[in-house]
Structure 1
């Protein structure tokens, strides 16, 4: 079993997305796969309604909100990956929705078929954006990683 077990961490980058985030979170919570946490990374939002929405979300169970200065989407996703506790990691934009069966099917597929990342000699994978300082197993599905 991988560290973090079967827990799925869904990382949601967030910048002034208050008018979209409820629908996004509702789609994740309606998932058939229930062993999950949501990690919302606030990338320096400035919109008052978006900040109020984050304050409400911070009080909800299984949701963690991380605040940082505006650093851009890539670094925001990386921070969410670093903060994720799950053995599985997925990314979802705050204005997107996910099908109720997607995570369940994806994790089942991950558990059946994974490919190990084998970096080239001399390549330091611990410095890549996706590594989070831990070894990773890359899935055949885009945006999915198993943390070893």
Structure 2
């Protein structure tokens, strides 16, 4: 049976949150969906949690694979998906009950859209609105401004080649959006909070070491160096622009500022030694 939207939920050691995530999918006001739960070789009770939802509703599907990282798990899930539209959703996050309905409505209004996402909120250890800058591709190159749970067409995913499986410790969603949108395309943000990002004591983003983080940024900047040059004109120009950006934009979080600074250092090293 086909579905209009396929929700892809990779899960590794997140069984304690998986039920809340799947419940948010089950409660969607838009009903023509399927949800593929991808057990990425998780040693916890992911299968047991998933089985409850498999029995509850046939729109839930279950895939079990050897551990290969979130990029690999998402790619596998999307390969098996039947929907025309894809929504990645991490197992520890959740979505508002009208997210699929509102997202698809935007694609119905404008079929040339490439990405639709929403306003967002942190929950868990921290509870506050997520500060999301307005989308421009230039801003995306500076920092990840689109969370992973955005709607896009399956055909566009196929064209861009999917998530980079070399990125196993973080920032894979940022690199995906850079690759996905490098040739252009409209991006729309729903003016409603429809995505909830869980803040925990321990997560991939918290656990990543400074060395691994820098190496990941280096990998991304090397892979897309032509985009950075074509967009900003030159590395010195990029460095000066971002120096001014960091001074003026007081809304940037400490983590985002660190992200920008490290990326600029890596780009400078690549092109100037």
Q: Same-fold call, TM > 0.5?
A: yes
- Of 39, 50, 54, the match for 1:54: 50
- Determine the structure 2 residue equivalent to 1:72: 69
Distance 1:97 1:70, change over 3 A: same
Q: Which has the higher contact order (CA 8 A, sep 6+)?
A: 1
Q: Does residue 102 of the first structure (1) align with residue 85 of the second (2)?
A: no
Paired residue secondary structure (2:83): coil
Across the aligned residues of Structure 1 and Structure 2, the Cα RMSD in angstroms comes to: 2.2
Structure 2 runs not aligned, ≥5 long: 118-149, 157-273
Distance 1:42 1:6, change over 3 A: closer
- Determine the structure 2 residue equivalent to 1:87: 84
Structure 1 runs not aligned, ≥5 long: 116-136
Q: What's the CA shift string for 1:100-124, capped at 9, x where partnerless?
A: 1111010010122233xxxxxxxxx
Distance 1:146 1:70, change over 3 A: closer
Q: What's the TM-score once normalised by structure 2's chain length?
A: 0.41
Counterparts of 2:2 and 2:52, CA distance in 1: 28
Which of 1 and 2 has greater Rg? 2
Counterparts of 1:6 and 1:64, CA distance in 2: 12
- Of 108, 114, 127, the match for 1:138: 114
Counterparts of 1:6 and 1:67, CA distance in 2: 21
- Determine the structure 2 residue equivalent to 1:15: 12
Paired residue secondary structure (1:26): helix
Counterparts of 1:143 and 1:16, CA distance in 2: 25
Distance 1:107 1:146, change over 3 A: farther
CA drift of 1:56 comes to 3.4
* Mapped contact 1:9–1:86 kept (Cα < 8 A): yes
Larger fraction in helix: 2
* Equivalent residues, number: 123
- Determine the structure 1 residue equivalent to 2:250: none
